[in-house]
Amino acid sequence: MAATIIDGKAKAAELSESISAATAVMVKQTGIKPGLSVVIVGEDPASQVYVRNKKRTAEACGFNSIQHTLPEDSAQDDVINLIEQLNADPAVHGILVQLPLPSQLNEEKITQAILPGKDVDGFHFQNIGMLTAGNTDSAFVPCTPAGCMLMIEDHLGKDLSGLNAVIVGRSNIVGKPMASLLLKANATVTICHSRTRDLPSVTRNADILVAAVGRAQMVKGDWIKPGAIVIDVGINRIQVDVDGASKNRLVGDVDFDEAVRVAGAITPVPGGVGPMTIALLMLNTLRSAKRSAS
């Protein structure tokens, strides 16, 4: 029996609708409109697409959305000075620096320059520390893992006691925060990476499998425990032959065609994790605006 397809697009639309309604109430009661500032350095085409999607969603939610585009050759000080201006602006509740950054810029110094209370991406060490300590009420949780958790909870509930969760990938953006969220929900968590021995034998024990390694279709159907929930975070472009012509196709880190025959539920790529990431960014920005109003 084929897996249930987890529709991230529909879930994100539902979430965006509730964010829009809450925003309208807040604007009416306090006059405060959530403000999201996105900083993009250079002209990376994939980054441009992401930023456009974020802006469109923010405006649909009733936010002020401001994009700051800096030239590719910007100096570190130029980017930090802009962040400091946004930190000081009371109309800005969320600041997001679109990654990756050009090679002359220090990603860590730039992301750490954002005030923790405006760090709606959840990358500041203070937010990471709170999340690791299990204080998810005060922390801004990184948007991709937070969106993944909502989809997992929809299928398994909030208490994951007795379930094995395996994460493939140990990044600060997905793998590690995902582990903290799953631990808080009482799952037994294993993080795998490029040095893990016999990776398929580890993933076959997973009731919940999160693939976030950035390698196209790496996780095969026989790596998956029958009935497992599979969350595919990967976004990879591959060349495929369509009627003799070579075309770009988006695929995840999981071989979807194989996995869908084994898993109990699975997120597609595109249309799974991606839309949820943007919806959670809006939720974090709304939370920040509410804090400034109280």
Cis omega (within 30 of 0) for bond into 200: no
CATH code 3.40.50.720 region(s) in the chain: 143-274
**pLDDT at position 245, please?**
82
**pLDDT at position 193, please?**
92
pLDDT tens profile 58-96: 999 999 999 999 999 999 999 999 999 999 999 999 999
Query: Any idea which residue has 């140990």 for tokens?
Result: 170
**pLDDT at position 50, please?**
86
DSSP conformation letters of 31-86: ----EEEEEEES--HHHHHHHHHHHHHHHHTT-EEEEEEE-TT--HHHHHHHHHHH
pLDDT tens profile 242-255: 788 888 889 999 99
Q: Which two tokens stand for residue 136?
A: 């998810």
Cis omega (within 30 of 0) for bond into 270: yes
Q: What is the CATH number of domain 30-115?
A: 3.40.50.10860
Number of other residues whose CB lies within 10 A of the CB of residue 105: 19
Which letter, b or e, does each residue of 34-54 get, where b requires 16 or more Cβ atoms within 10 Å of its Cβ?
Answer: bbbbbbbbbebeebeebbeeb
Contacts of 96 by beta carbon, 8 Å cutoff, 6+ apart: 36, 37, 38, 39, 54, 120, 121, 281
**pLDDT at position 126, please?**
97
Edge-to-edge strands, sheet with 35-41 = 64-70, 35-41, 94-97
Closest CA to 250 of 219, 275, 271, 278: 271
* CATH superfamily membership of 143-274: NAD(P)-binding Rossmann-like Domain (3.40.50.720)
**pLDDT at position 48, please?**
87
**pLDDT at position 294, please?**
81
Question: Which sequence positions are flagged as catalytic?
Answer: 54, 98, 121
CATH code 3.40.50.10860 region(s) in the chain: 30-115
Q: Residues of the chain whose pLDDT is less than 70?
A: 1
Classify 190 as helix, strand or coil.
strand
